[in-house]
Amino acid sequence: MRPEAPISFAPGFSRLSRAAKPHLPCERETLCSSLRRHSALRCLLPHLLSAISYLLLCIPAHAARIGDISETSLWNQAFRFFTFQDPAVRYALLGSMLLGISCGLLGSFIVVRKMALVGDALSHAVLPGVALGFLWNMSKDPVAIFAGATLAGLIGTGVVHLLKQTTRLKEDTALGLVLASFFAVGICLLTMIQRLPTGNKSGIDKFLFGQAAAIGPGDVQLMGVVTGLAVVVITLLYKEFLVTSFDAQFARVSGFPVQALHYALMLLLAFAVVIALQAVGVVLVSAMLITPAAAAYLLTDRMHRMLLLAALFGLAAGALGAFLSFLGNNLPTGPFMVLAATAVFGAAFLFGPRHGVIARWWRQRNRSARTQRENTLKAIYHVLEARDFQGEGVSLRELAERRRETLKDVSAQAAALRANGHATLHEDGSQVFLTPDGWQRACAIVRNHRLWELYLTNEARVAADHVHEDAEKIEHVLGEETVRELERRLGNIAHDPHGRRIPDLAEMRRGTGAAVTEKSMGYGQDIQGHS
């Protein structure tokens, strides 16, 4: 019989089972509390929007392209960039920041919906649309390219959907298929355009790897409109998007138009991808969707904070990419933006306060050190118990025999106990004495162990010789509430299935060394002294 089977009878137990899978509840909790808190987003985003539109209005209408710049030194370039004298620099920077914001916002939704690779497929699928938009009047007309690319992207996602429904191909295959075949059609069209004898072909090849310097005033206006649209729609439909992203079933039951919201999100996603094409390039747009959002996902459990962080990271990555590409004189912008975003993700991955690798490693180390200490305390208790609690000191040799470890290991553990105030050591270091604090802790652990064994044999009907291993694990994680529930269920019971006494509250208070003569007390409902 599995010992986990009866685990859901009390609130404390469900907390146990949650501890095993820490990822699930945070999303649920995020959902509930964000529903309450999304007013914060509604307050913040309009300010962001107004700042951007202010910047947009202030841009002078005529500007030279960055491409006109002749050879200059790095410092000169950096100086030119930061003084913003050159209007083209302002266009490039502003455009990169705008695309960073819109990609970060929409990327957050595809990351939490586990649709990251849909973004990838979508961004490759827009290429034929770019080429057709260019062919429309043989120029780099932002609106024509925008329309063509959005259309192609939506057709691409539609084909993925159709493939999944009508064939036995799985989603990953369908995505890869659409990605690659649309991209090939796009490359065919692009190479055909490049071989045309007439027409202004400049700039069309920049769509592959991106060139922020090629962003013109028309592009920036379009980007501003799209980013504004994304911010407004996400703010207005925040609750709807949130619920459909985290719990589609609940959303359907509650009467949200799940399909319509999905299509709205796809449309916005296509818009965000298309405005980013000019600066980031077809090949790497998906990174601007995924990476800043994933970095934000590592840093917070609240959706509105994730959106703000992702927009911020996208903005930073965009600006940094534009700057580096400007320094390098016409190096493609996209790869630099992507590496900047990856650097942000790497930082979040390593140093994130809750989900970062270092924080996790630190927590795990603390937990295993605590388990180790508690096992030592338990061993000390066992040694004392074996000689009927006569004498206070436990020699390290006895402890080593009990734990079947070397003397060196045991003295290290004793030192760890002393560092935590659970024990003191004899001057020559051969004996260890528990402090009152350590004694209580030792009793609590032994008590947890034996109560659990008893529970398994009495309530779950597990054979007595099968319960020890399970109790060894659970004794370290049983919470106060669970222990009280165990006491309530088991009633007035003094001995564990192996016939050993379960230490009780009175014994805990009494301290070490006192002889146990009186009859053990019943288990009160109000045991507070441990946990």
Partner 1 sequence: MNHFIPPFNFHHVFVEPWAQAGGGFAWIALMGFLVATACGLVGNFLILRRMALVGDAISHSVLPGIAIAFLVAKSRSSLAMFVGALAAGVVTTVIIETIHRKTRVKQDAAIGIAFTSLFALGVILISLFASKVDLDQECVLYGEIAFVPLEEMVRVGGVTLGPVSVVRMAVVTLLLAVLVVAFYKELLVSSFDPTLAVSLGINSTVVHYSLMAALSVVVVSAFEAVGAILVVAMLILPGATATLLSQRLPVMLGLTVLHAALSSVLGIHLGVWLNCSLAAAMVVAATVLFMLSWLITSAGRHGFRMVSARTENNNGAETTPLQG
- Which residue shows structure tokens 């985003």? 45
Q: Given the rule CB under 8 A, which of 167-175, 242-250, 369-377, 390-398 is the region that contacts partner 1?
A: 167-175
Give the shortest CB-58-to-partner 1 separation in angstroms.
Answer: 32
Residue among 69 and 178 whose Cβ is closer to partner 1: 178
- Which of helix, strand or coil describes residue 311? helix
* DSSP state for residue 495 in the 8-state scheme: B
Judged by CB under 8 A, the residue of 231, 298, 307, 454 near partner 1 is 298
Among candidate residues 272, 276, 286, the one with its CA nearest the CA of residue 322: 276
- Would you count residue 339 as binding partner 1 (CB under 8 A)? yes
**Phi, then psi, of 423 in degrees rounded to 5:** -155, 160
Q: Which of residues 127-146 bind partner 1 (CB under 8 A)?
A: 135, 138
Q: Given the rule CB under 8 A, which of 51-59, 182-190, 388-396, 507-515 is the region that contacts partner 1?
A: 182-190
Cα angle value 162/146/245 (rounded, 5°): 50
Burial class (CB in 10 A: 0-12, 13-18, 19+), 27: middle
**Are 408 and 393 contacting, i.e. CB atoms less than 8 angstroms apart?**
no
- Would you count residue 119 as binding partner 1 (CB under 8 A)? yes
Give the shortest CB-198-to-partner 1 separation in angstroms.
Answer: 7
Site string for partner 1, 496-525 (x = CB under 8 A): ------------------------------
**Phi, then psi, of 434 in degrees rounded to 5:** -80, 140
Residue among 196 and 407 whose Cβ is closer to partner 1: 196
Strand partners, 395: 431
Q: Which of residues 190-209 bind partner 1 (CB under 8 A)?
A: 191-193, 195-198, 205, 208-209
DSSP E strands, 78-191: none
Give the shortest CB-283-to-partner 1 separation in angstroms.
Answer: 7
Give the shortest CB-181-to-partner 1 separation in angstroms.
Answer: 4
- Would you count residue 87 as binding partner 1 (CB under 8 A)? no
Give the shortest CB-269-to-partner 1 separation in angstroms.
Answer: 14
Q: Which of residues 6-25 bind partner 1 (CB under 8 A)?
A: 23
Judged by CB under 8 A, the residue of 41, 101, 106, 189 near partner 1 is 189
Length of the chain: 531
Burial class (CB in 10 A: 0-12, 13-18, 19+), 424: middle
Strands 394-395 and 431-434: antiparallel
Residue among 55 and 327 whose Cβ is closer to partner 1: 327
- Would you count residue 368 as binding partner 1 (CB under 8 A)? no
Judged by CB under 8 A, the residue of 62, 168, 404, 461 near partner 1 is 168
Strand partners, 433: 424
Q: Given the rule CB under 8 A, which of 148-156, 171-179, 423-431, 436-444 is the region that contacts partner 1?
A: 171-179
Return the number of other C-beta atoms located less than 10 Å from residue 334's C-beta: 29
- Would you count residue 176 as binding partner 1 (CB under 8 A)? yes
- Which of helix, strand or coil describes residue 373? helix
- Would you count residue 291 as binding partner 1 (CB under 8 A)? yes
- Would you count residue 345 as binding partner 1 (CB under 8 A)? yes
Taking every pair of C-alpha atoms in the chain, what is the biggest distance, in angstroms?
106
- Would you count residue 169 as binding partner 1 (CB under 8 A)? yes
Judged by CB under 8 A, the residue of 3, 332, 497, 503 near partner 1 is 332
Burial class (CB in 10 A: 0-12, 13-18, 19+), 229: middle
- Would you count residue 294 as binding partner 1 (CB under 8 A)? yes
Residue among 3 and 148 whose Cβ is closer to partner 1: 148
Give the shortest CB-268-to-partner 1 separation in angstroms.
Answer: 18
- Would you count residue 184 as binding partner 1 (CB under 8 A)? yes
Question: Hey, what are 301's tokens?
Answer: 């459990």
Question: Hey, what are 516's tokens?
Answer: 């146990």
Q: What is the 3-state secondary structure (H, E, C) of 318-368?
A: HHHHHHHHHHCCCCCHHHHHHHHHHHHHHHHHHHCCCCCHHHHHHHHHHHH
Residues within the interface to partner 1 (CB under 8 A): 23, 111, 114-117, 119-120, 124, 135, 138, 163, 166-170, 172-173, 175-177, 179-181, 183-185, 187-189, 191-193, 195-198, 205, 208-209, 283-284, 286-287, 289-291, 293-294, 297-298, 328, 331-332, 334-336, 338-339, 342, 345, 349, 355, 357, 360
